Amino acid sequence: MPKLLTALLLLVEGALSPPLQAVEVDTLMKRVDALWRGESSHATLTMKVKTQRYARSMKMEVWSKGKERSLLLIREPKKDRGIATLKVERNIWNYLPKINRTTKIPASMMGGSWMGSHFTHDDLVKESRYQEEYNSSLSFEGERDGVLIYEVSAIPKPDAAVVWGRVVMTIRQDTLTPIEAIYYDEEGAKVRLMQFDQLQQIGDRTVPMRLTLTPEDKPGESTIIHYQQIAFDLPIEEQRFSLRSLRKRR
């Protein structure tokens, strides 16, 4: 994914910064879209899911190339080891090693839970597409809770096939990293909250290493993604993101 433009960096000058223009808001959202990916990336992470019925934890390894290709491989627990999810453009396949079967996720199941978490298959396809799927505008600029922030409201474009009626994202002015994102349905009701913290400097970017997703209608439940390490702009072969390669992953 593209690096942050020098022009955008010049905007971060504290409270006296001039208001963001429309084109600059789009550049800011492009930065957010690219934050965890780069031109390519490789990461290890844990995902902890807590619901009213169970709690589970998984360790994963993830590769990506641009925003069109990604491969996620579960390393632990042992019973799930080798389960993999491949995304190529807007298509997703799951591989189950115990039955040696690859299944393409149909459109009717895109809203279903991914691996028992509060993320859906649709989240995996639509991630990193704010600039393409939404019209974004600055709804607030200034200090909130002692932190200088930009608040950006993203409304789906008329022809966008998205499930959210609006997404409101709060972004730190000093690091240009998101603090939180609030998701609303088409009637304007709050559906879920994503929070970002544990910032870490990696190369030329500041990356939140922990993401916490909480559903509005399920108090006490959450899915937490915690990156152990992430590296960007590595040479990753194209064939890694193929169905043949997916079946060979261990």
The Cβ-side half-sphere exposure at 202, using a 13 Å CA radius, reads: 22
Q: Tell me, yes or no, whether 3 lies in a domain.
A: no
Mean pLDDT of the chain: 84
Residue with the larger pLDDT of the pair 116 and 220: 220
Q: Tell me, yes or no, whether 184 lies in a domain.
A: yes
Q: Which of 67, 39, 37, 31 is nearest to 171 (CA)?
A: 31
The total of structural domains in the chain comes to 1
SS percent in the chain: helix, strand, coil, step 5:
20, 45, 35
Instruction: State yes or no: pLDDT of 2 exceeds 60.
Output: no
Q: What is the pLDDT of residues 132-155, one digit of tens each?
A: 788 899 999 999 999 999 999 999
Q: CATH number of the domain at 235, please.
A: 2.50.20.10
H or E stretch including 29? helix 22-34
Q: Tell me, yes or no, whether 7 lies in a domain.
A: no
Cis previous bond, 77, omega within 30: yes
pLDDT of residue 31: 83
Q: Which 3 state secondary structure label does DSSP give 111?
A: coil
Q: Cα 174 from chain centroid?
A: 21
Q: Which 3 state secondary structure label does DSSP give 216?
A: coil
Q: Tell me, yes or no, whether 106 lies in a domain.
A: yes
Q: What is the pLDDT of residues 14-68, one digit of tens each?
A: 333 444 555 588 888 888 877 887 789 999 999 999 999 999 999 999 998 987 8
Q: Tell me, yes or no, whether 8 lies in a domain.
A: no
Flag whether the pTM goes above 0.85. no
Q: Which of 1, 2, 3 is nearest to 204 (CA)?
A: 3
CB atoms within 10 A of CB 223: 23
Q: What is the pLDDT of residues 173-219, one digit of tens each?
A: 999 999 999 999 999 999 999 999 999 999 888 999 999 999 999 99
Domain with 38 in it: 18-248
Q: Tell me, yes or no, whether 10 lies in a domain.
A: no
Q: Tell me, yes or no, whether 11 lies in a domain.
A: no
Q: Tell me, yes or no, whether 2 lies in a domain.
A: no
Q: Which 3 state secondary structure label does DSSP give 205?
A: strand
